[in-house]
């Protein structure tokens, strides 16, 4: 408001305006009329001005600068600039500012005015109203103070909670957080300011294995009004942090969404404990399984001992008793020599059985490791076949060129011997046997083929289990551990054993012996 100079009841003003003055005097505030001219004269100032400022209207009429002297220094430049602007644009004027009353009180005013164009004899002018809003401002400031105090209480509580407290706009994770507690930096290495500055940071930190699931849960949360999820995030230093995210959508009384409120708990240690427990349970399960397998093996072993070992022992005992009493029984010398040879064969077979059983036990308990040597495996196969005492009149072909490999000689010899024994037991005497080795991408494959009846596909895997025999096998001496030893010797070399059909008919037993990843010392 510019400084008033004379009241509007001056005789040079139109009567219609003079008739308006009583109404303006009763306005709930201080009404004023100001001519739109360079001097900016105020032609009317309501009688309530003295109640508002402590100065009578006459004082304002006597001093052009009195009004501006009352405007609070912190508001003065702003109000002068606002009046200068509307003098040019003629747009409605509305400002709130402070003045200092005569008694020192600070009074908050709302100053509103509109521009009236000239009409008839009436010049253009501004008509305005000054309203005391001190009580409103005081209430507002009190409410603001109370809200600030409550916010400080909330912030103090949020920063003591052992979790990240956050508030997001109704857009959820796509909006920058309104508030996020300092613990965010402790968990993820990013400050709350960095998080608020980057609305997509949450998505960027999601662990790749959990991203799709977490984003789907966030999408569903709009319909459900919140979500509760466990997922992983990647911290700034590369740490994997497991969090439990508990979020709820806060609505007003009409159900309109206001904001999201949530907590992020660090559950990394809990997840690690769960993983350790799961690993311990798995270890216990495997231990129980191994004990069960050991018990099964023990029972099978006892069955084998009671039957397969008793038979040669009985035969050996019978032959020994006969030889002991040969003179009394009158056994001829030729029969004695034949009994002696039979006794030796049975003793050797018994020794082989006991050795196989001991090897199965040691291999099962992981007590055997290969002692690799660099040697010609082709030559080794040739010697093993030549020295074998199980082939007798069999037709055997050795197909192995000179070939160097890092192998445990004794284990490979046992592999070939057991495969030869298996071939002679389960093929007719007219069958042909082929023994050889060939280079493989991973190392060397040793094979023993025959043109016998072959092995049904359904029996191939279990043939390499201890004490197993093929269903179509004819009764034969032995414990049924030969192929199991073949498989175990292959495994300790890092390889495997299997059987497949031989092209042209029969069976092809094969053993892969991989090259060692490093040269044995």
Q: Tell me the domain boundaries of the chain.
A: 15-139, 161-266, 272-363, 370-514
Asked which of 253-257, 336-340, 487-491 is least confident by mean pLDDT, the reply is 336-340
Task: Annotate 215-237 with three-state secondary structure.
Answer: HHHHHHHHHHCEEEEEEEEECCC
The mean pLDDT value for 402-427 works out to: 88
Chain-centroid distance of CA 37 in Å reads: 74
Higher pLDDT, 505 or 368: 505
Q: What CATH fold (topology level) applies to the domain 370-514?
A: Heat Shock Protein 90 (3.30.565)
In this predicted structure, what is the pLDDT of residue 174? 62
In this predicted structure, what is the pLDDT of residue 146? 66
Higher pLDDT, 482 or 448: 448
How many whole angstroms separate alpha carbon 79 and alpha carbon 71? 9
Q: What is the average pLDDT value for the chain, to the nearest integer? A: 80
Find the farthest-apart pair of alpha carbons in the chain and give their distance in angstroms, rounded.
174
In this predicted structure, what is the pLDDT of residue 82? 94
In this predicted structure, what is the pLDDT of residue 19? 57
For residue 349, pLDDT over 90 is answered with no
Q: pLDDT per residue over 260-271, tens digit each?
A: 888 888 999 998
In this predicted structure, what is the pLDDT of residue 8? 37
Cβ atoms 45, 32 nearer than 8 A: yes
For residue 317, pLDDT over 90 is answered with no
Class of domain 15-139: alpha beta
The mean pLDDT value for 462-486 works out to: 64
For residue 478, pLDDT over 80 is answered with no
Q: Which of 134-148, 231-245, 461-475 has the highest mean pLDDT?
A: 231-245
Cβ atoms 215, 203 nearer than 8 A: yes
In this predicted structure, what is the pLDDT of residue 179? 83
User: For residue 20, what pLDDT band results from cuts at 50, 70 and 90?
Assistant: low
Q: Show the DSSP H helices in 305-389 as ranges.
A: 310-324, 326-329, 333-364, 377-387
Cβ atoms 173, 201 nearer than 8 A: no
The mean pLDDT value for 49-54 works out to: 90
Q: What CATH fold (topology level) applies to the domain 161-266?
A: Beta-Lactamase (3.30.450)
For residue 165, pLDDT over 90 is answered with no
The mean pLDDT value for 401-418 works out to: 87
In this predicted structure, what is the pLDDT of residue 6? 37
For residue 158, pLDDT over 70 is answered with no
The mean pLDDT value for 229-245 works out to: 93
Query: Are the folds of 15-139 and 272-363 the same?
Result: no
User: For residue 12, what pLDDT band results from cuts at 50, 70 and 90?
Assistant: very low
In this predicted structure, what is the pLDDT of residue 205? 93
Q: Structure tokens of 333?
A: 């010398």
User: For residue 86, what pLDDT band results from cuts at 50, 70 and 90?
Assistant: very high
User: For residue 114, what pLDDT band results from cuts at 50, 70 and 90?
Assistant: very high
Q: Which of 172-176, 299-303, 337-341 has the highest mean pLDDT?
A: 337-341
In this predicted structure, what is the pLDDT of residue 10? 36
Q: What CATH fold (topology level) applies to the domain 272-363?
A: Helix Hairpins (1.10.287)
In this predicted structure, what is the pLDDT of residue 492? 84
The mean pLDDT value for 174-190 works out to: 84
């Amino acid at each position: 408001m510019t400084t008033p100079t004379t009241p509007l009841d001056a005789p040079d003003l139109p009567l219609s305006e003079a008739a308006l003055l009583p109404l303006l005097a009763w306005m709930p505030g201080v009404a004023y009329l100001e001519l739109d001219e360079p001097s900016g004269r105020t032609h009317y100032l309501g009688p309530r001005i003295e109640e508002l400022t402590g100065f009578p209207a006459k004082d304002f009429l006597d001093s052009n600068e009195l009004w501006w002297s009352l405007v609070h220094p912190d508001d003065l430049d702003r109000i002068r600039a606002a009046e200068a602007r509307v003098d040019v644009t003629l747009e409605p004027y509305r400002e709130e500012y402070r003045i200092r009353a005569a008694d020192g009180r600070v009074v908050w005013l709302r100053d509103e005015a509109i521009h009236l164009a000239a009409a008839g004899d009436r010049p253009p002018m501004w008509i305005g109203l000054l309203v005391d809003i001190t009580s409103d401002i005081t209430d507002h400031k009190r409410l603001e103070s109370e809200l600030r105090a409550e916010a400080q209480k909330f912030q103090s509580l949020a920063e003591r909670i052992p979790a990240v407290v956050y508030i997001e706009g109704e857009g959820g994770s796509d909006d920058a957080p309104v508030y996020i507690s300092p613990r965010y930096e402790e968990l993820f290495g990013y400050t709350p300011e960095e998080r608020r500055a980057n609305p997509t940071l949450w998505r960027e930190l999601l662990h790749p294995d959990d991203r799709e699931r977490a984003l789907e849960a966030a999408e569903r949360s709009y319909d459900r009004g919140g979500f509760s999820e466990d997922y992983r995030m990647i911290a700034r230093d590369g740490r994997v942090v497991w969090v439990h995210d508990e979020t709820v959508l806060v609505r007003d009384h009409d159900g309109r969404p206001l904001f999201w409120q949530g907590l992020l708990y660090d559950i990394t240690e809990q997840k690690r404990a769960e993983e350790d427990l799961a690993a311990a349970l798995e270890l216990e399960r495997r231990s129980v399984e191994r004990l069960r397998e050991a018990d099964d093996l023990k029972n099978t072993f006892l069955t084998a001992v009671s039957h397969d070992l008793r038979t040669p022992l009985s035969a050996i005992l019978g032959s020994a008793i006969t030889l002991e009493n040969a003179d009394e029984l009158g056994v001829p010398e030729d029969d004695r020599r034949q009994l002696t040879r039979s006794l030796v064969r049975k003793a050797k077979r018994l020794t082989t059985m006991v050795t196989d059983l001991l090897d199965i036990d040691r291999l099962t308990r992981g007590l055997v490791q290969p002692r690799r040597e660099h040697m010609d495996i082709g030559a080794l196969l040739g010697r093993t076949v030549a020295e074998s005492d199980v082939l007798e009149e069999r037709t055997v072909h050795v197909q192995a060129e000179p070939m160097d490999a890092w192998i445990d000689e004794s284990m490979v010899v046992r592999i070939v011997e057991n495969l030869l024994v298996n071939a002679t037991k389960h093929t007719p005497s007219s069958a042909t046997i082929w023994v050889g080795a060939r280079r493989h991408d991973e190392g060397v494959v040793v094979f023993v083929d025959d043109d016998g009846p072959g092995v049904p596909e359904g029996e191939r895997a279990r043939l390499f289990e201890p004490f197993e025999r093929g269903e179509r096998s004819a009764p034969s001496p032995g414990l049924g551990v030969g192929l199991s030893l073949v498989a175990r010797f292959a495994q300790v070399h890092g390889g495997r054993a299997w059987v497949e059909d031989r092209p042209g008919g029969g069976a092809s037993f094969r053993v892969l012996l991989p090259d060692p990843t490093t040269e044995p010392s």
